[in-house]
């Protein structure tokens, strides 16, 4: 017997990174069961260079099902292996080629945005590394006009990070010769760990003012809504359940009180042992949203 569909609601588009086990269309079914109105996926295994072709049948099922379920936009996240700032010619070449593969997959599936961590400086000067990443992105996107748009994601400030500030993301975007970059994704855990104090309204305002200054009103395309296990400014990327980390419920209330945050899709990458973890986090976010209206 088919389960009744969860009412999704008319307002903020909220979703999760969902598993593609069993096929990419299965991720849509999982998102729908949770009541998601947006979602993020990997289009392949994120920890392997191996490529698996998506069948034409599965591509059609994915496209038809997402239209039926009104799950939009859909985001894909690039492989963790990609490092477009690497000084290794071999790794850089493989990363450029793999980003093109990621964009091709998104194009086939009709995915609107591809989220990218550009990579690590690997001991090199950060500015040189960002320039290298910009050149690599330009090469990966080439002259092809992808409908899918690339989003640069901020990082937590760990050793070698080159994109822990909005200004650093802008530096890469401005140096790209391709027009395929469609904006940025802000991860709240990463931002907090990198020194944006989202527990305070001033910290949220600082972050959003920087986004507006460098990318304009429409530059923020996605928010990864994640709490943080580690202290403010730690430079360590460890996600936590919403309200149970160091950003805390007050911080998320500050974030979600801002219209600039609520107008973009919110995708959670919170820890998951069972499906109940996702439901718990979704309930928490919806409760905060209900309390500020």
Q: Which of 13, 37, 221, 224 is catalytic?
A: 224
Instruction: Take residue 267 and report the two structure tokens written for it.
Output: 């995708």
Q: Which of 47, 51, 144, 147 is catalytic?
A: 47
- What is the rounded distance in angstroms from the CA atom of residue 158 to the CA atom of residue 156? 6
Residue 113 is a catalytic residue:
no
Q: Which of 5, 51, 70, 80 is catalytic?
A: 80
Q: Which of 187, 197, 240, 278 is catalytic?
A: 187
Strand-pairing partners, residue 120, are: 161
End-to-end CA distance of the chain: 37
Residue 58 is a catalytic residue:
no
3-state secondary structure of 194: helix
Residue 80 is a catalytic residue:
yes
Q: Which of 13, 17, 37, 77 is catalytic?
A: 77
- What is the rounded distance in angstroms from the CA atom of residue 67 to the CA atom of residue 278? 23
Residue 11 is a catalytic residue:
no
- What is the rounded distance in angstroms from the CA atom of residue 83 to the CA atom of residue 135? 12
Q: Which of 30, 37, 44, 117 is catalytic?
A: 117
- What is the rounded distance in angstroms from the CA atom of residue 253 to the CA atom of residue 77? 26
Residue 237 is a catalytic residue:
yes
Residue 207 near residue 251, CB atoms below 8 Å: no
Q: Which of 153, 161, 171, 278 is catalytic?
A: 153
Residue 44 is a catalytic residue:
no
Q: Which of 239, 240, 262, 278 is catalytic?
A: 239
Q: 157: phi > 0 → left, psi -120 to 50 → alpha, else beta; which? A: left
Q: Which of 102, 112, 197, 237 is catalytic?
A: 237
Q: Which of 97, 104, 269, 277 is catalytic?
A: 269
- What is the rounded distance in angstroms from the CA atom of residue 152 to the CA atom of residue 142? 17
Residue 47 is a catalytic residue:
yes
Q: Which of 13, 17, 37, 190 is catalytic?
A: 190
Strand-pairing partners, residue 267, are: 15, 224
Residue 256 near residue 285, CB atoms below 8 Å: yes
Q: Residue holding tokens 């975007």?
A: 173
Give Cα 214 to chain centroid, integer Å: 19
| Nearest to 226, CA basis, from 206, 205, 204, 251 | 251
- What is the rounded distance in angstroms from the CA atom of residue 47 to the CA atom of residue 265? 26
Catalytically active residues, by annotation? 47, 77, 80, 117, 153, 187, 190, 224, 237, 239, 269
């Amino acid at each position: 017997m088919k389960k009744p569909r969860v009412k999704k609601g008319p307002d903020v588009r909220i979703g999760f990174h969902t598993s593609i086990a069993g096929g990419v269309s299965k991720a849509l079914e999982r998102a729908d069961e949770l009541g998601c109105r947006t979602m993020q996926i990997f289009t392949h295994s994120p920890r392997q260079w191996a490529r698996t072709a998506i069948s034409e049948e599965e591509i059609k099922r994915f496209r038809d099902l997402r239209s039926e379920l009104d799950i939009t936009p859909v985001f894909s996240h690039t492989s963790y292996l990609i490092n477009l700032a690497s000084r290794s010619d071999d790794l850089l070449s493989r990363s450029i080629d793999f980003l093109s593969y990621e964009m091709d997959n998104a194009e086939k599936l009709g995915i609107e945005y591809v989220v990218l961590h550009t990579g690590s400086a690997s001991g090199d000067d950060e500015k040189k590394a960002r320039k290298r990443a910009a050149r690599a992105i330009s090469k990966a996107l080439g002259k092809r006009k992808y409908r899918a748009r690339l989003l640069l994601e901020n990082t937590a400030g760990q050793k070698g990070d080159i994109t822990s500030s909005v200004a650093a993301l802008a530096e890469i975007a401005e140096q790209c010769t391709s027009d395929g970059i469609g904006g940025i994704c802000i991860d709240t855990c990463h931002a907090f760990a990198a020194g944006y104090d989202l527990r305070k309204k001033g910290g949220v305002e600082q972050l959003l003012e920087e986004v507006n200054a460098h990318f304009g009103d429409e530059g923020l395309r996605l928010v990864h809504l994640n709490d943080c296990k580690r202290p403010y400014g730690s430079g360590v990327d460890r996600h936590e359940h919403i309200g149970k980390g160091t950003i805390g419920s007050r911080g998320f209330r500050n974030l979600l009180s801002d219209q600039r945050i609520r107008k973009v899709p919110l995708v959670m990458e919170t820890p998951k042992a069972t499906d109940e973890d996702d439901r718990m986090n979704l309930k928490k976010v919806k409760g905060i949203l209900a309390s500020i209206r």
